[in-house]
A = this chain, B = another copy of it.
Amino acid sequence: MTTHPRPFTLFTGQWADLTLEEVAGLAAGWGYDGLEIAVSGEHLDAWRWDDEAYVAERLALLERHGLQLFAISNHLKGQAVCDDPIDERHRDLVGSRVWGDGDPEGVRQRAAEEMQHTARLAQKLGVKTVVGFTGSSIWPYVAMFPPVSAERIEAGFTDFADRWNPILDVFDECGVRFAHEVHPSEIAYDHWSTVRTLEAIGHRPGFGLNWDPSHMVWQDIDPVSFITDFADRIYHVDCKDTRMRVGNGRNGRLGSHLPWGDPRRGWDFVSAGRGDVPWEDCFRALSAIGYDGPISVEWEDAGMDRLHGAPEALAYLRRLDFPPATASFDAAFKQD
């Protein structure tokens, strides 16, 4: 039996221009039950995992707002662990400590170190799950041209395992699990690459998935089947929605390098409930597999004010959090 009502949290990654205090105030005001705090900017600093006062202060902040903590995330530094090339886009994401002199391999190693600290910080904060990205050295070969050899692809999965196993060792020590977000640019970005990734890491329990359907929709991956196919690896749930805009023969799946919000893109992120994710089927599947963690709103919509959207998305998703059945309906047919 799954928990009911479920806790709803707001992911702070897209609010890093505000202080955690400000985000917490907004989220609490909108009725969120908690936050999924990004290890990013002022929100959380993984390198201070052993600063007890810091940790206590972060927890106190949440408590002041009546918010709970179920998971923290560190997408941006996870991204840099395996990526190749490492370029100016990463510099903007990883912060000066990890960037250092910008030497790619150094960046990767410092990013890996931060991921280990993130596990330690999670343990200190009392949470069991870290959400994030893995990066990938083979993502640039997705178009298969210029031709790429099977060996090169294999090497990419090996590189991933080689870089992440030591990180996951620390996760295991801390009793924390990593929930990878299946996403283009990452080692696992669709169904079969997820199968392959789990094989590469030997199905170790410390490595699971953050189910976020937004990138599945435009790749024609069924987010409902994804839940049941990877039932034992769904460690966290992020709700982001995608609206398909193909169908006029001109808007393409790859987006034409157009910015978010441009109506000529083949798809776009929208506030949860305004896109094509079959949310109710997904929520029913989450109940069926017994998922009992938080439902976290990762809010992105280039056409809507986030102050309008974040509470709207919460209200929309709460409608799917109806109480489960307590008995079989056809049991009532039985006569004595």
Least distance between A292 CB and chain B CB atoms (Å)? 16
- Is B261 within 8 A of A190, CB to CB? no
Asked if A3 lies at the interface with its beta carbon under 8 angstroms from chain B, I say: no
- Is A266 within 8 A of B325, CB to CB? no
A143 proximity list for chain B (CB < 8 A): 139, 184-185
A46 proximity list for chain B (CB < 8 A): none
- Is B304 within 8 A of A146, CB to CB? no
Asked if A221 lies at the interface with its beta carbon under 8 angstroms from chain B, I say: yes
Q: A151 to B94: give the CA distance in the assembly, Å.
A: 20
- Is A191 within 8 A of B259, CB to CB? no
Asked if A238 lies at the interface with its beta carbon under 8 angstroms from chain B, I say: no
Asked if A172 lies at the interface with its beta carbon under 8 angstroms from chain B, I say: no
A257 proximity list for chain B (CB < 8 A): 138, 141-142, 153, 156, 193, 196
Asked if A224 lies at the interface with its beta carbon under 8 angstroms from chain B, I say: yes
Asked if A253 lies at the interface with its beta carbon under 8 angstroms from chain B, I say: yes
Least distance between A77 CB and chain B CB atoms (Å)? 9
Complex interface: stretch among A26-34, A163-171, A241-249? A241-249
- Per-residue contact bits, chain A 302-336, to B (CB 8 Å; 1 contact, 0 not): 11111111001000000000111111111111111
Asked if A15 lies at the interface with its beta carbon under 8 angstroms from chain B, I say: yes
Report the nearest B residue to A228, measured CB to CB.
Answer: B263
A227 proximity list for chain B (CB < 8 A): 263
A-B contacts, 6 listed (Cβ < 8 Å)? A147-B334, A224-B248, A263-B281, A263-B288, A305-B325, A307-B323
Q: Which residues of A contact B (CB under 8 A)?
A: 13-17, 40-41, 76, 79, 85, 89-90, 92-96, 138-148, 150, 153, 156, 183-185, 189-193, 196, 218-222, 224-229, 243, 245-264, 266, 269, 274, 280-281, 284-285, 287-288, 299-309, 312, 322-336
